[in-house]
Amino acid sequence: MTNSPGHRTTMQDPRTQYPQPPFKRQPQEAPGLAGAMDPKPDHGETSYRGHGRLAGRKALVTGADSGIGRAAAIAFAREGADVALSFVETEMPDAQEVAKLIEAEGRKAILLPGDITDRTFCETLVHRAVTGLGGLDVLVNNAGKQTNRKDIGDISDEQFDLTLKTNLYAMFWITKAAMPLLPAGASIINTASVVAYNPPQILVDYATTKAGIVAFSKALAKQAISKGIRVNAVAPGPFWTALQPSGGQPQDAVETFGSEVPLGRPGQPVELAPIYVFLASQEASFVTGEVYGATGGNGTA
């Protein structure tokens, strides 16, 4: 695999465009670091090319240190946006890498570490992003918690509560704080998942939250369009992110991760970046209340 810019634009077989399983077992403590993964995920660090689609925009991305959020943040900057990065303090090394990439494009990067399971921090996060960026017109609710458990009896109240607070409550708190500050033409993009439609037995709590994100996005879209604000969601299938080896999947599943989809491999975060860019841009002016799937061929229904 190469991460050169031409790698993203040259026609090639998508089945072999990126690494395929088997992968090494690589356990990490949650929330995990992209820099510790083997192979390293492609977030678009060198492979994503911008085309000015988001010139002058101001975006807040949660979970922006690695995975899908990192890919979106890099792509937004390459498209001309300034970006505020939300992440937890332990992910600072990854977040600092993203900030450097954003600044290398001549764009502003705002580092905003903190715990989004705390309502007060979520409200502060939005206001700090608006102050640092000089406004806000793109919100990406992407941060997520995923912990596999074989049986419902193994899911503690603490895990269930933390999963819902990370994936649902934080999205609600952040969006609620942002809505009065977003101008007409703004875009909200929430990260759902294919598991909202086809939940695996080991991800009961996680799948529950992702189905909730789909419903939240569709309902909010009907409200927000009265203010000229579009709301959409993205539903990825298996993607090679730090979420997976840090408890999202059992280690034996990490070895074969992505093999179950028709493409035969997991997606790389950069492969989602163009979807987030499109939904954030004026090119998606007639798109709201939609859920965009990227599942490697398995579909979302």
Would you call 21 helix, strand, or coil by DSSP? coil
Is residue 48 annotated as part of the catalytic site, yes or no?
A: no
Please give the Cα distance from 194 to 212 (Å, whole number).
Answer: 12
Helices (H), the chain: 67-78, 92-104, 119-133, 157-164, 170-178, 204-224, 251-255, 273-280
3-state helix, strand, coil in the chain (%, to 5): 45, 15, 45
Q: Among the options 18, 206, 276, 292, which is catalytic?
A: 206
Please give the Cα distance from 134 to 293 (Å, whole number).
Answer: 32
> Would you tell me the crossing angle of helices 170-178 and 204-224 to the nearest 10 degrees?
20
Would you call 283 helix, strand, or coil by DSSP? helix
Please give the backbone phi and psi of residue 98, each rounded to the nearest 5 degrees, phi first: -65, -45
Helices (H) and strands (E) in the chain, counts: 8, 7
Please give the Cα distance from 300 to 90 (Å, whole number).
Answer: 33
> Locate tokens 């969601």: which residue?
233
Would you call 129 helix, strand, or coil by DSSP? helix
Please give the Cα distance from 197 to 146 (Å, whole number).
Answer: 16
Q: What residues contact 288, with CB distance under 8 A and at least 6 apart?
A: 221, 224, 225, 230, 231, 232
| Residues belonging to the active site | 206
